[in-house]
Structure formats: C-alpha cells, structure tokens
Structure 1
Amino acid sequence: MNSVLNPEAPEFYPHLTSVTQDGYTKVSKTIKLSNHLPAGVSYKIFKTFTDFSIVSCKISNNVVTQSNDIVINELPAVKLKPNDIEYNTEKIIDVNDTILDRVNINIDNVCRVNAPCEQFLQGVKQNQAWSNKPVITKIQVGSTLFIGAKNIPRPQLSFKDPIDNSDSLWVPKISDKPNNIKPLALNILYNEEGEAVGYEHPYKMELDLYQPPAEFISPDPSPPFPPPLEATRFTYVDTEALVDELVSHLETVVELAIDVEHHSYRTYQGITCLIQISTCAGDYIIDALAVREHIHKLNLCFTDPKKIKVFHGAEMDILWLQRDFGVYVVGMFDTHQAARVLSLPGLSLKSLLMRYCSIDADKKYQLADWRIRPLPDELIKYARMDTHYLLYIWRRMKGELLDAVGGQQHLLLSVFELSRQICGATYNKEVIDENSHMAIYLRSKKSFNSKQMAALRLLYRWRDAQARELDESTTYLLPNHMLLALAEALPREVQGLSACCNPMSPFLKQNLVTVHRMLLSCRELPLEPQLYQMPAAVSTMSVPPQLTYKVLDLGHFPDFKEDSINLDQAAVHLDTEPPNQPDIPAFKTPEPGSGSGLNVDAKMFIPPYDRYKQYRSLAQVEEIKEYKEKEAKITAISKGNEYIKTEVLIKLQEAKTLIEKESKKANKKEIEQEAVISVADDGGQTLRKRKISNEKGKKNEPCTEQNTNKTKTDKSKNKNQNKVKNKSEQINVKPFNYKNVNYRKFRDDSEKAHKQPKMKFKKHK
C-alpha cells in the first residue's frame, strides 16, 4: 500500500503495510507447521503422552486468548471458550462472515461495482448503439492485481478445429515437417500391456542429433543493453498477412526470445492466448485466438537448429504449442535451467531481470484473463516485458556459465542438454482412472471412511465428465474444497448442500438434485473394513537415529568393580568400536531362508510386535477377501449376471455329494449293527457265566495275579460290549416329544436313585 491513497492519515499506511506483509508470512508459516501436527486418530494416540497433553493444552489456551483479542474488535459480545471446539468453530465462522461481508462492501464501493457502468449510460443515450466490448474490472489485493471481465465471448466457439475433450488418444496436429532429417511419420507408442499411450515425438531424430552451433557455446564480448520498451518497435500480429511477414522476418535472425500466455479457467484443456517473440528488430505479440489456424507456420524457424530459441521455464510452453498449433522447438536455451545450474538465489524471471537488468518487473498481472479483446495497454506492456530483455539475459548467463569453470564448456552444454530434454516432451491428455481423486484427498489430509471415499470418487468422476462436455475447467464447475466438503458431510437434505458450499457455484445450483441423489446413494453403502494403518501424522514424523550397537549386549566389556576401578582402562574399552553382531545367538540377525516371517519354523528370535504385525496383515487380508466375496454376491444380485447360476450349481453339487456320503454311511452302519447284534446273542450268556463264576471265585479263592489279570480283561471286554450296545441303541433312537413332560418326576427319580441307603448298626451288648 501507499500513503498517497489516504492523504489524511499518511502515517497509517506504512505501518499497515509492514503488518500485513509480516502477518501474511507468519500466518503462512504457522499453517505449514500446523499441517504437520497429528490429527484424528493419531492425535488421540499422542494425547496418551503426558508431555504432549501439557504442551497441547498450553498452545490451545494461547490460541483462544489471542483469538479473543482479535474477535473483540469485530464482535465484542463473542468470547471463545477453551476446550469447546464446536462452540469456538461456530463463533469463528460468524466472525469471518461479518469481516468478509464488510470487506466485500468496501471493495464494491471502491470499484463502483454497484454504480451504473459507463457503457450502460452510453447505451441509454439516444442515437448510440450498444457496445459489445467486455466490461473490465480491476481489483488490487496486496501486490497482485486481478483483472476480470464480463461479456467475453467463448473463443473456442469460433475455432475451426473442434476441441476434443474425450479420453481418446491425442493425435499431433502437425501436417508438415520443415527442417527434417527423417520424414514425418506418426508412430504410436505402446506400454508393456500392449495399450497405446501416445505418439512418438515428430522431431525425435532431430533432437537426438542436435548439437548447438559453435557460435552459441563460444565466449562473446559483453552484449549491449537493450533499449527500453518505449524506444523499441512493437507489432501486434492478428492477421494471416502479418503472420507471413513475421515468419519471413524470423528467417533473417539467429536469436529469438519466446514466451506464451495461457488461460485455463474457462476451458477444460486450456487455451493459448498469446505468443510473444522478441528479436533484435523489435517485439511481436501474436494473437493466438485470432490467427490460430496459421501459427503452424512458425515451425519453419522454431525447428531450425541453426537458430537459438530462448525461453524461461519452458516445460509447459512446449506442451501448449504442440497441443494447440502443432508447433515444435529444436535448439532451445532455457534461462530457468541455467539459473539452476548456476545455483542462483532466485530462479524466477523477476529475479533474473533484477539481477542482470536492474529492473523491478511488475508481476501483478500474472492472474489476468488473457482472453480479453482488445488487450488493455497494461497487459500488452506486461507481455512484452517477458521477452524484451531475455536475449540480453541469455548472453550474460552464457558468459557466467563459461567463467564458472575457467572457460570450459561442459556447464553450458549441460544447460543445452536439459533444454533439449524439455523439447523432447510430448503432450498427452489427462487420464482419469479410479484413483485420480486421491491427489486432492491426500493434499486435504482428511480421514474418510468408505462411504465418504465413495462419494468423493463419484463426485470427482461426475465433475470431470461434465467439464469435458461443457468445455469448462473442473475448478470452475465445482472447486476442490467444495468437493471435499460435500464428500465429508454427506448431507441428507438439499439445504445441507448450500451450507457446505457457500457461496455456491452456478453449476452446482443447476445440479443440486443430481448431486443430492449421488450423496444419498453413497450414504446407503455398507462400511468397508479398513486396514489398521499407522496415521499419516505419525509416519511422517522424523525417526530418531538408530543405534549402531545393542545397548544391553555388553558381554565383550570386562567387569569393573567399584573397589578396583581404573578409569583409563575403562575409557580404552569404551573407545573401541562395538561389535556389529550381538554375542547372544538369539538376537543375531537371521539369515535369509532361516524361517518364515510368522516364526512358525524360524530358528532365530523374532520380537512379539513383529509377529503381531505379520498375523495382523494376514487377518486383514482374510477380512478384505470375505468382504469382497459378499460385495460380489450383492452386485451379482443387483445386476442379475451369471454369478448366481454358478453359485446355485455349486450348492447343488455339494448337496448331492453330502446325500451320497450319508447313504453310504447309513449302509455301513446297518451292516455293523447286524454284526454287533449277532455277536451279542452268541456271547452274552458266556459273558454272564464268566462274570458269575468270577464273583464266586473272589469269595472262596485267594487273590492271585492270574485272577487279577482275568478280571481286568473281563472288565475291558464288558466295557467294549457296553459301548457297542450304546452305539446300537443310539442308532435306533426314536424322536421323543418333550412338550408334555413332567420334568419334576425325572428329577425325583434321579434323586432317589442316587440316594445311598442308610447303614444300620447293631449295638453290641
């Protein structure tokens, strides 16, 4: 800010400038540091540590106190409370809304947005026609000036070549190949799976054989400083005749500086709006929207290896020239790569202009809308500044690259090699797959469940499909922060969408019902089992340095007693390098193939936590596998595919095999029953007789070893026969009706059966 804006208080603005600049840097630094703090589940884990709890409580109390000092100036009635997150969040939202409303009103008053525009006042006058020129609005925010405009016609509607936003393979637009070594041939490239991934670079052979001419790698005298913009010839190229004139002029020069201005907010793939070229004869700006179909003629000089093309940061410029015009570059020098090789403190063009030209370039128009036609004078001046001094900078940097190594050329040649690799890149369309949404999810550092992830994936793919169809950017239709807010909240009502997305984009207003239905369908999905992974906040923390020896393994040190300790002798042993392997065999590093990871056949010691991790991974795999099977069955039922038929056939086959097995078992049991019954009929009496005879023998005969052995064998036989009888009885058990049973009767009988008779003792006189 400048104090000239408010002459009544000139001492206020310098102080405000320092506060805003210092405050912005501190706030941005605080945000970056806070993003590394644990959140979600990891925060709960860290809260179990006493030191972390004490520090976090102190920080939270300090934040609440400082926030109250700020809030009291805006809403004195609001006072934040410690340890009340919901209440504080609501109050801060209210305060932010109040501040932003006041700022918007002040901006509107300064920019006179609500006042009738001059074009409208001119249009209502008599005998004057309505002006179709765009209404340009300028808003200064800090050091950046936002230039927006209304009533800009979509330039892609007037293009003769249609815009192809489909996911099909991008085909190069080149039809003629000047300065060729190998004739033009569009060869398709395939990956390992045999899928087409793109086309080979048309100038691949020429780039592989390129060597910078000797005049570009030899030292030069100090170059003359270029004249200012006002004293330099300027040409605005917006017709085919001017394009031909420019091409004929470029054939006469050997050095040219090039830059590109691009617009990507109101189109899906992006549009190249301007091409700036500077030579020793002057500055040229090509209106790429007006002469789009004639720019391919620049290949005649852009691919000439005898000419040097100076860019700054040409990674995207090379791709945009290929995509929109079929223009390729051979023989480039990138000043950004040269600054990296020289290890300069600043790599931007603004830093190079200040270092070599002592010019403080104004970069406040870098967010301008380059589709505005006619171009304002300040945008033309900004575009010329990007290339006007670039040839002088290239000469200065070439001298520094040669002087840095004592006149050797390897540093300079390395910059040419890096620039050649940039020229060898080919444009390809953005491919959307099942994991494309993970980029914005990881940047958000949120923790979503399966329902929220399904909503994010569905909204992301739907937004991309709509952007391709309407030829609008995805950020214009539905910004990323709104996409994440909808996926996280999953509102049940339509009003919840407006609460998540405030202010709401025009596209979202038109598709409220569609988005609401998608979110409701995601709410009805089952929750998938989640893998127990380490939280991101914990895994990203710095790991303490690992010890190079085992602390408790001190068996190689001698024993020192307090009585006879020698400090010098102990120091000698401590200074010796500790062993790489411990003395205890169980703690040595296991050799590969000594056992499995789960310690089933392991010969070495495996810590319990390592075994736990192995078993946990196996359990997770089984759980995921079970869930996938259930999900496949549910999808089969919903889709009605052949999965159900195969499942039914498998079940029928299993039932048939069970029936056959049961019939075979029943036949075997019947045969066994008949055999058991016959055996019982023949040998039952003999067994009983043996039993009776044995009992008599016990009373009359003395106990001998033979008798004891006989009794043992007889008991074992009786037990086996009883088991056989019990099995036969179990086979022929009839179903019993348990409805009308007097269970008390069974209980009384059992008690009587288990009662022991009382012993009667006679009194001896």
Structure 2
Amino acid sequence: MNSVLNPEAPEFYPHLTSVTQGGYTTVHRTIRSSNHLPLGASYDLFKTFTDFNVVTRQLSENVVAQTNQILVTELPAVKLRLNDNEYNTEKVVDANDSMVDRVNIHIDTLSGVNAPSDAFLESVRRSGAWNATPVIAKIQVGSTMFIGAKNVPRPQLLFKDPVDNSDSLWVPKISDKPNNIKPLALSILYNDEGEAVGYEHPYQVELELYHPPGELIDPDPAAPAFPPPLEETRLTLVETAEQLDQLVAHLATVKELAVDLEHHSYRSYQGITCLMQISTSEGGDFIVDTLAARDHIHKLNVIFTDPKKLKVFHGAESDILWLQRDFGVYVVGLFDTHRAARQLSLPALSLKGLLAHYCNVTADKKFQLADWRIRPLPAELVQYARTDTHYLLYVWRRMKAELLARAAGQPRLLLAVFEASRQLCGATYNKETIREDSHLQLYVRSRKQFNSQQMAALKMLYKWRDAHARELDESTTYLLPNHMLMALAETLPREVQGVNACCSPTPPFVKQHLLTIHRMLLSCRELPQEPLLFPAAPTTRGAAPAQPARPHDLHDLAHFADRSEDQPINLERAEQLLAEGFPFHPDIPAFEPAAPPAAGVVSALNVDAKLFIPPFDRYRKYRTLAQIEEKKEFKEKEARIAAISKGNELIKTEVLIKLRAAATQLDAAPRPAPAADADDAAPATDADAGKKAQRKRKISEKERKEPPPSRAEPPAAARAAAKPKNVKLAAEPSATLKPFAYKNVNYTKFYDAEKTRKQPKMKFKKHK
C-alpha cells in the first residue's frame, strides 16, 4: 500500500500497516486455537465438566461482545445473541455482505463506473427534480382502462383555503349572489332535537319560483343539427383567471350549454373536482382545469344561476354537490338527461347508451377510473372528457322532441323532467358524519354474521380508520380497504403475522400502524362474548317491523294476475269488484272464514282462535319473546359472575333468601302426631334405663336365630294410607308376611366347614 493514496495524512500508512499485520496474526492464532477444541462426541463428553462449561461460556460472551462492537458501525440495529448460533450466523453474513457491497460501491465510484450519463443530467436540469414528472401506468381490466400515476403532487397542499375534514358544520363558500330574488342570507337549519344540521340553500327562493322559459317548452321549428366530429371542433383549455374571464364572457352570449365534471376521491377524504367540461354550439368544447383555476371558478355563478340559460347535465346528483363544496357554485335552470331517459323508459340510461341511441356514437368509457390529477393531461383523457359534453346539447333536443311527441304535443312530460331536475338543484352539500351505527352499513352489505367481539372490532377499526383519514386527508379505502377491514374484524388474528395475512398486499398505512391494529384486535378478543340470538338475514326485510295481522278475510290470490302500481288500473273492473264485495274464494281451507268478518277470522283448524295469525308472524313474535328471555338470563349470569369478584354481595343475598324460604317451609310443615297405642305412649321405666345403660351383653342363640320385634311398627291402616296412590304393584305381599332380618342370619351354613378348616400342608425338601 502506498501513502500517495492519502497525501494529507501520511501517518495513516504506518497505523494501517500495524493494524492489518496485527489483525492477520490475531486471526491466525484464533483459528488455530479453535481447531484444537473438541468436536462431536468429545465435545459432549467435555460438556460434563463444570470447568469446561465455565470457560466456554466466558469465551462465547467475549466473542459476542467484541463482534457487536464491530457490527455497530455497519448495522447499528443488529445485536448478536448468546447461545443462538443460527441467528448470529445469519446476522454476521448480512453484515459481511453489506460491508462488501459498500466497498464495491466506493471502488466503482472512484473508478468512474457509476458516473451519471449526460442524458440523465440533462433530464434532471430540464425537469428540476428527478421525481417531478409523473410516471403514468395503464392497466386494462376487461373493458375498463385504469390510468394511474406515481409521483403525482397532492393538489390540496396548494389550495389557499385549507381542507377542513373535521366534524364541524360545513359553511357554504358563496360570498356573492348573482341573479338573486332574495339577497344572500345564510340561515342555519335545526332538527327536532335542536341540533344544527346544515345551512339553507342560498337559491331556495329562486328555485321555488323557477319556471322554464317558453322557448324551452315549445316545439323546435326545425330538427336539431348534428354536431361536427371532435377533430373538427375547436378545443379551448382554461387554466388561468384571464382565460376563465374570457369563457364567462362567451357563455353570456349563449342560451344553452352542456356541463360535466371529473372527480377524484381516492387520495382525498372529501374528494376533489379536477376538471370541468363545457360545450356550446357556437364556441365548441372547453376544458377547465379546476385545480389550477380553483380560486376563480366562483365566477361561473353568473352563468349557472341565470334562469334564462339552460344547463344540460347527465346524472347531476353528484355534480351539484361538488360544485357547491369546492367552488360555491349553484345551478338554476337544469335539464338532466338521465331523468329524461327514465321518463322515456329507455333501455339504457347511461350516457354511453344515450350516445349510442341518439348519435350512433360508441363512447369509450374505459377511462372512467383514471386519475384526473395528472398534469399535463394525456391525450386519451382529453378525448374522453370532450366526449361527455360534445353531443349532449343534441341529445337534449332529441329528447325534448320525444317527450312532446309522447304527450301528444303537451308539455306535461317535459315539465316533469324539469321539475325533477329542479329538485336536484335544491340539494345542499354536508360533510359526512360518523355515528355510532355508521359501520352497520358496511356490515349489512357484507352479508356476514358477526358475534359481539367481531362487531366491536369492526366498530373500533371503522372509527379509527375514519379519524386517520380525516387527519391525513386520504380516503378511507386508500388507508384500509373495506374488504381488508371486514377480514380483520372477522378473523381477529392473535399474531401480527395474521394482520399481514388479512391485508395482502399490505397497504402502506397498515404497515405503519401494524402494532396498533394488532393491539385493538387483541383488546376486542378479551371482551365478553354475548350470545347471538336468532341471527336474522342482514337485509332490510329482516330489519322491517312486524306488520299487524289484518282484521278481515285473507285470501290466496296467487293464481290471479299481479296488480302492481306500475301497471295501469282498470277502473271498470275495480268498480265491479267493489260492488260485488270481492267474490273470490280462497284455495287454502285455513283461510276459509267460519264467521262474519266482524267476529274475526276463525277457521275450522283452530276453533279457539279469535284472530288468525300467519305462521311467519307467529315466528317473529316468538323470536322477540325468546330473545328477551335469553338476554335476561344472560344478564343474570353475567351479574352473578361480576358479584363473585365484587364481594359476593349478590350471592350472599340469594343464600339468605333461600335460608329464609327453607325456614318458612320447616315452620309450615305438619309435625307427626303422637302414636295412639298405649304401649308406645308408655313412659320409660327404670328397667329400660338399665338396659340402655348396659354397654355390652352376650347375645343368646335364641335371639340370634329369631329376629327381634320391630320397635315402631305402624298399624296396617297407617301403612295403607301411606301407600302412594295410582301405583300398581306386580304382586301384592301377604298380610302375614314378616320382615326378614338380614343382620342376624348365620351364613356359615353356606360354606363347607371341612374344606374351610383343613388347610393344605406345605412340603419342604431338605437339601443336604
């Protein structure tokens, strides 16, 4: 090694020489000494000596301590363990690989192998940063194209008005009210409990007084002209305040405009309106970048609230709310083509279906799930956005003609669509609030059956996820998708690995809060598991209240034609049915009335019934009663268990109650009357006392053979009265039969005395 490599530190060379030479010598001696250590069976034999164990343990501790001092500079988080050879070998190998890789990188850097290319440096200088340009990815799934991008900056970070995701009441952003009949006044609405639920619609009075102009209702003098192709139509991008002012000036000169919005909700809690498309017959197509011109979109209120201008939307339920939430823009004078398609009962109600029906245009809807935050917009997304509004004005004219023609020139169907569209404009935006039962909507959709522990986990995870989504301004499905949330609540994994198994692939948010999720699930496992009584199907049918039984005749009319509200009613037939008193007869005998309707439904199958209750209603009533009884029993058991740990107060109370009841029963029990015989009632004499005082006496042969007389033999009448009634014996014993005394029987006669006395003699052989 030459000192020229480090001319500023000439003393480094001798130090390096001593270290390397001394290190090599030490390593060589260490290897040679380790080769003399016993192996295999010899090692097992040496392990039986205490001194050998002490020495080897001390050596192992020294090796681990010295190795940790070396590894701390390369892998600070790694610490070798004592008596864990497999773990220590793995970590030493990792440390060696890391050091070798670092050495190779430094060698390549000095030799110029890893020097950046000129093209890379030029791209960095042009973009300003290596990750400034989004990396776009396209994934085709069936007929839908997913367009995503990495390195997309979050647009909400650049908003002048910060996003408010708290539970506070949402305040409308409108500050000026053009085209007003009533001046701007924001009034708070309250519910029956006195809680504020929102603000009154600023244009409520204008919407109530709105009536479409006559030119929108009268038939068109000529058929509408088909719009030119997209390639021949002018396209204008609006990104600045000056360009937006020019758009407002142009819209002031037209009477009809088609509007659509593009929304993004995956990386935002409330969602972001990213794009607005506007088309007019005179000016062509306009694409407004609502992210760049967000603070100036409110200028469109002058056009959107003008009742003389028609705004054509398709499916405006969400668009109306998005305009209010992000820009404070309201709409007066709306025609919704989706409502018109429902009024015309068209087979396809989507915009794609309308374009195919009226314009013979096949709209490509594969980009409907694209990330509209991408800037600059790809050409495919621009083409897709223009298609949504380019043909919409022509569709409105065609639908207007069909509505008038279907009503024989009368505007009633057309006015019905305008009325439905007016009601859509009256909706107001409010923040999503989390209630105690918000998680039940997800539970009902899943069609699963959870116990009390699983429901507690679902509720806890649902609220926890929502709180973090509000704080980070991310959607709940991005942080923790719904199917993963249900899997965690259903499985309740005991180990951390189980959480990863339920969330595969694991979202970044779950990786950051893995231990927190695991602790929450373990806490739910420790909750007492309440019984799941009669689980009903998670549908609205199961949650509906039980309907009371009808107090009149029930008929089986399954064999007649179904008469629903959608079908026309034959009034002549209805008058005839009412006049004849519904002369049909049921097919099932159980529904046959045996009495006038005023006396109730009484069938021959159940003559005691005053009112017929269908089987399903009986089951629901029984189910409710059974639930109450079982829950009551469960609560009592739970209270008893709690009493054991709280001083046994409840147990003591129950014991006292039972002791009092037993004492009451003993006091109320009849006492036995004294015997009527004189012999039994005679007092005890001195002779009897003397007999009792004798401790031992010899039993004679006569007493041994003859049983002693019974002391308290009840009379025959008493025995007959004490015999249980309604009991038939197999054979009635004789009245003269005496009880047999088993204790005084001589059992020696059953054995052979000779065999018992004579014992076999053992013969022993003498050994000389």
- TM-score bracket, normalised by the shorter chain, equals 0.5 to 0.7
Q: Which residue of 1 aligns with 2:76?
A: none
SS at match of 1:319: helix
Cα deviation, residue 204, structure 1: 0.7
1:405 paired residue among 393, 407, 422: 407
Aligned residues of 2:586 and 2:592 also touching (Cα < 8 A): no
Which one has the largest radius of gyration?
2
Alignment partners' CA distance in 2, 1:236 and 1:750: 126
1:211 aligns with 2:208: no
Cα deviation, residue 315, structure 1: 0.7
Q: Which residue of 2 aligns with 1:20?
A: none
Assess, with a 3 A threshold, how the Cα gap between structure 1 residues 533 and 298 changes in structure 2: closer, same or farther.
same
Aligned residues of 2:593 and 2:601 also touching (Cα < 8 A): no
- Mapping of residues 173-192 of structure 1, within 5 Å: 173-192=173-192
Q: Which residue of 2 aligns with 1:135?
A: 135
Alignment partners' CA distance in 1, 2:557 and 2:183: 67
1:123 paired residue among 114, 117, 120: 120
Alignment partners' CA distance in 1, 2:405 and 2:737: 123
Residues 96-135 of structure 1, C-alpha deviation per residue, up to 9 Å, x if partnerless? xxxxxxxxxxxxxxxxxxxxxxx99943458844452211
Residues 291-343 of structure 1, C-alpha deviation per residue, up to 9 Å, x if partnerless? 11111111111000010001111110001001111100000111111111111
1:199 aligns with 2:193: no
Cα deviation, residue 442, structure 1: 2.0
1:621 paired residue among 628, 633, 642: 628
- Give the number of aligned pairs: 533
2:339 paired residue among 337, 340, 344: 337
Paired residue type of 1:360:
T
Cα deviation, residue 387, structure 1: 1.0
Aligned residues of 1:239 and 1:290 also touching (Cα < 8 A): yes
Cα deviation, residue 454, structure 1: 1.4
1:271 aligns with 2:262: no
- Mapping of residues 207-356 of structure 1, within 5 Å: 207-220=207-220, 221-279=222-280, 280-356=282-358
Aligned residues of 2:137 and 2:147 also touching (Cα < 8 A): yes
SS at match of 1:431: coil
TM-score, normalised by the number of residues in structure 2: 0.61
Assess, with a 3 A threshold, how the Cα gap between structure 1 residues 407 and 456 changes in structure 2: closer, same or farther.
same
SS at match of 2:375: coil
SS at match of 1:418: helix
Alignment partners' CA distance in 2, 1:609 and 1:400: 48
Aligned residues of 2:258 and 2:392 also touching (Cα < 8 A): yes
Q: Which residue of 2 aligns with 1:104?
A: none
Aligned residues of 1:188 and 1:198 also touching (Cα < 8 A): yes
Q: Which residue of 1 aligns with 2:477?
A: 475
SS at match of 1:359: coil
Paired residue type of 1:224:
A
- Mapping of residues 543-562 of structure 1, within 5 Å: 548=555
SS at match of 1:275: strand
Alignment partners' CA distance in 2, 1:266 and 1:169: 22
The answer for unaligned runs of 5 or more in structure 1 is 1-118, 541-545, 552-575, 639-643, 673-683, 696-717, 719-747, 760-765
Assess, with a 3 A threshold, how the Cα gap between structure 1 residues 408 and 458 changes in structure 2: closer, same or farther.
same
SS at match of 1:274: strand
Alignment partners' CA distance in 2, 1:194 and 1:265: 35
Aligned residues of 1:581 and 1:588 also touching (Cα < 8 A): no
Assess, with a 3 A threshold, how the Cα gap between structure 1 residues 336 and 592 changes in structure 2: closer, same or farther.
farther
Aligned residues of 1:167 and 1:431 also touching (Cα < 8 A): yes
Cα deviation, residue 464, structure 1: 0.9
Residues 618-647 of structure 1, C-alpha deviation per residue, up to 9 Å, x if partnerless? 231133345567779999999xxxxx99x9
Alignment partners' CA distance in 2, 1:351 and 1:516: 48
Cα deviation, residue 162, structure 1: 1.3
SS at match of 1:385: helix
Cα deviation, residue 539, structure 1: 7.7
Alignment partners' CA distance in 1, 2:631 and 2:133: 61
SS at match of 1:140: strand
Residues 142-167 of structure 1, C-alpha deviation per residue, up to 9 Å, x if partnerless? 32222111111110011111111112
Assess, with a 3 A threshold, how the Cα gap between structure 1 residues 609 and 177 changes in structure 2: closer, same or farther.
closer
SS at match of 1:407: coil
Cα deviation, residue 417, structure 1: 0.7
Alignment partners' CA distance in 2, 1:190 and 1:268: 26
Assess, with a 3 A threshold, how the Cα gap between structure 1 residues 578 and 313 changes in structure 2: closer, same or farther.
closer
Alignment partners' CA distance in 1, 2:525 and 2:443: 19
Assess, with a 3 A threshold, how the Cα gap between structure 1 residues 120 and 264 changes in structure 2: closer, same or farther.
farther
Alignment partners' CA distance in 1, 2:554 and 2:341: 41
Assess, with a 3 A threshold, how the Cα gap between structure 1 residues 504 and 254 changes in structure 2: closer, same or farther.
same
Residues 534-570 of structure 1, C-alpha deviation per residue, up to 9 Å, x if partnerless? 5569989xxxxx993699xxxxxxxxxxxxxxxxxxx
Alignment partners' CA distance in 2, 1:394 and 1:271: 28
Assess, with a 3 A threshold, how the Cα gap between structure 1 residues 587 and 152 changes in structure 2: closer, same or farther.
farther
SS at match of 2:245: helix
Q: Which residue of 1 aligns with 2:526?
A: 524
Cα deviation, residue 276, structure 1: 0.9
- Mapping of residues 337-736 of structure 1, within 5 Å: 337-535=339-537, 548=555, 577-578=584-585, 603=610, 614-625=621-632, 627=634
Cα deviation, residue 358, structure 1: 2.0
Aligned residues of 2:447 and 2:537 also touching (Cα < 8 A): no
Q: Which residue of 2 aligns with 1:562?
A: none
Residues 357-390 of structure 1, C-alpha deviation per residue, up to 9 Å, x if partnerless? 2222221211110000111122112111111111
Alignment partners' CA distance in 1, 2:599 and 2:117: 83
Aligned residues of 1:587 and 1:605 also touching (Cα < 8 A): no
- Name which of structure 1's ranges 153-162 and 526-535 shifts more when overlaid on structure 2: 526-535
Cα deviation, residue 592, structure 1: 9.2
Assess, with a 3 A threshold, how the Cα gap between structure 1 residues 177 and 610 changes in structure 2: closer, same or farther.
closer
Assess, with a 3 A threshold, how the Cα gap between structure 1 residues 617 and 128 changes in structure 2: closer, same or farther.
closer
Assess, with a 3 A threshold, how the Cα gap between structure 1 residues 388 and 587 changes in structure 2: closer, same or farther.
same
Alignment partners' CA distance in 2, 1:354 and 1:585: 56
Alignment partners' CA distance in 1, 2:591 and 2:218: 67
Alignment partners' CA distance in 2, 1:126 and 1:313: 44
For CA contacts below 8 A with separation 6 or more, give which structure has more relative contact order: 1
Cα deviation, residue 584, structure 1: 11
Assess, with a 3 A threshold, how the Cα gap between structure 1 residues 506 and 612 changes in structure 2: closer, same or farther.
closer
SS at match of 2:453: helix
Assess, with a 3 A threshold, how the Cα gap between structure 1 residues 142 and 219 changes in structure 2: closer, same or farther.
same
Q: CA RMSD in A?
A: 4.6
Assess, with a 3 A threshold, how the Cα gap between structure 1 residues 190 and 749 changes in structure 2: closer, same or farther.
farther
Residues 488-537 of structure 1, C-alpha deviation per residue, up to 9 Å, x if partnerless? 11111111112222111111111110111111111111221222145569
Assess, with a 3 A threshold, how the Cα gap between structure 1 residues 498 and 614 changes in structure 2: closer, same or farther.
same
Paired residue type of 1:205:
V
Aligned residues of 1:198 and 1:428 also touching (Cα < 8 A): yes
Assess, with a 3 A threshold, how the Cα gap between structure 1 residues 523 and 243 changes in structure 2: closer, same or farther.
same
Residues 593-616 of structure 1, C-alpha deviation per residue, up to 9 Å, x if partnerless? 999xxx9x9756778997675444
- Mapping of residues 13-162 of structure 1, within 5 Å: 122-124=119-121, 128-129=125-126, 130=129, 132-162=132-162
Paired residue type of 2:310:
I
Alignment partners' CA distance in 2, 1:579 and 1:140: 58
Residues 659-703 of structure 1, C-alpha deviation per residue, up to 9 Å, x if partnerless? xx99xx9xxx9xx9xxxxxxxxxxx9xx99xx99xx9xxxxxxxx
Q: Which of the two has greater helix per residue? A: 1
Alignment partners' CA distance in 1, 2:635 and 2:169: 33
Assess, with a 3 A threshold, how the Cα gap between structure 1 residues 537 and 238 changes in structure 2: closer, same or farther.
closer
TM-score, normalised by the number of residues in structure 1: 0.61
**Identity percentage of aligned residues:** 64
